[in-house]
Amino acid sequence: MDRTFVAGLPKAELHLHIEGSLEPELAFELAARNGVDLPYADVAALRRAFSFRDLQSFLDVYYTCMTVLRTAEDFHDLAEAYLARARADGVVRAEVFFDPQEHTSRGIPLADVVTGLSRAGEESAETGGPHLALIACAVRHRGPEEAVEMVHSLEPHREQLTGFGMDSTEVGLPPRLFAAAFEAARGLGLRCVAHAGEEGPPEYVWEAIDVLGVERIDHGARAIEDAALVRRLAADGTPLTMCPVSNVRLRVVPELAAHPLPRLLDAGVRVTVNSDDPAYFGGYVADNYLALAEACGLSEADLAGLAQSSLDACFTGAGGPHHR
């Protein structure tokens, strides 16, 4: 498969944690700028830590590295670097996650985070680069009550935000616990998504749809284990924002050739291809298309269909069936 072909397909990136686009070089640059000590000697030592057993072993490194982000300028520079890479990969719209609680808990004002990211988005759109939309995510490990508080803290920034989501440690923290946060987010008119079925069981995907009322499922890899769930996702047209390279690196699947995406596609589910935390997993969105095509024997027409699905699944139009 030809990279030029893949990069030439206009596409949306719908599952990207902006903090997960923090390349080691920029992490050390920001650490020096802000006088933050990283527990890694240098870029090479940090890269050596990018060998993950599971989601949690990744999250530990990810949360450590994001402590170098302190000012609006830092968040701007992070998003600017990501958007330049996304542009080269044919991304015309990026709907990007960020984790407000991991910044406000370190004393960083939410306004600085939102302002820095938004300014990079405006500059990108003005210069023909990808349009940026922001999705604020509650981190599950801080629990349901903090998630509700976080949603309330979004209100002054409502104009800069498109959606609300949920990420971080999945197993043991079922979606239903966070129903109140999603209700509050919908009250603000935010489009709702949730990570589900990455490490967690298919039941968590059912709960995300039926209890939280989300419009898209982030990952959903384990949906393949439940035929009734696959039928439901297909019937409702609920998009899955899948991340093949991430799933291999975090051992959600043993190898790319075993990734459920082609089977879900065959079953009529609206799947999309995304990069999750590309600085940590070694692949931006075009790399994900290419690796998947190679491992699973997808054609150019298949990839063009996946790119079109990503555009169709964007939060540009009116809300879907669960958007009130």
When the beta carbons of 13 and 276 are compared against Zn ion, the nearer one is: 276
- Using the Cα atoms of residue 308, residue 216, residue 156 and residue 22 in order, give the sign of their dihedral: negative
List the one residue out of 2, 94, 56 whose CA is nearest residue 250. 56
Shortest distance, position 222 Cβ to ligand ADE, whole Å: 13
Which of 224, 276, 284, 307 binds Zn ion (CB under 5 A)? It is 276
Number of residues that bind Zn ion (CB under 5 A): 1
Q: Which does 309 bind (CB under 5 to 8 A by kind): Zn ion, ligand ADE, none?
A: none
Q: Single out the catalytic residue among 23, 198, 199, 215.
A: 198
Residue 58 CB, nearest approach to Zn ion (Å): 10
Site string for ligand ADE, 289-308 (x = CB under 6 A): --------------------
Q: What is the CA 312 to chain-centroid distance, rounded?
A: 17
Q: What are phi and psi of 314, to 5 degrees?
A: -65, 155
| Gap between the Cα atoms of 98 and 157, Å rounded | 14
Whether 181 and 144 have beta carbons less than 8 Å apart is answered as: yes
CA distance 47 to 256: 22
3-state secondary structure of 313: coil
Q: Is residue 246 part of the contact set for ligand ADE (CB under 6 A)? A: yes
Give the sheet arrangement for strand 216-219, strand by strand: 11-17, 91-98, 131-139, 163-167, 191-196, 216-219, 240-242, 271-273
CB nearer to ligand ADE: give 74 or 276.
276
Among 7, 20, 194, 307, binds ligand ADE (CB under 6 A): 20
**30: region left, alpha or beta (phi > 0 left; psi from -120 to 50 alpha):** alpha
The residue among 58 and 289 lying less far from ligand ADE, judged by its C-beta, is 58
* Alpha carbon distance 309, 244 (integer Å): 16
Mark whether 198 is an active-site residue.
yes
Over the window 161 to 200, marking each residue x when it contacts ligand ADE by CB under 6 A and - when it does not, the resulting string is ------xx--------------------------x--x--
Kindly state the smallest distance separating residue 142's Cβ from ligand ADE, in Å.
12
Contact footprint for ligand ADE (CB under 6 A): 17, 20, 55, 62, 167-168, 195, 198, 246, 276-277
Active site residues: 198
What are the residues binding Zn ion (CB under 5 A)? 276
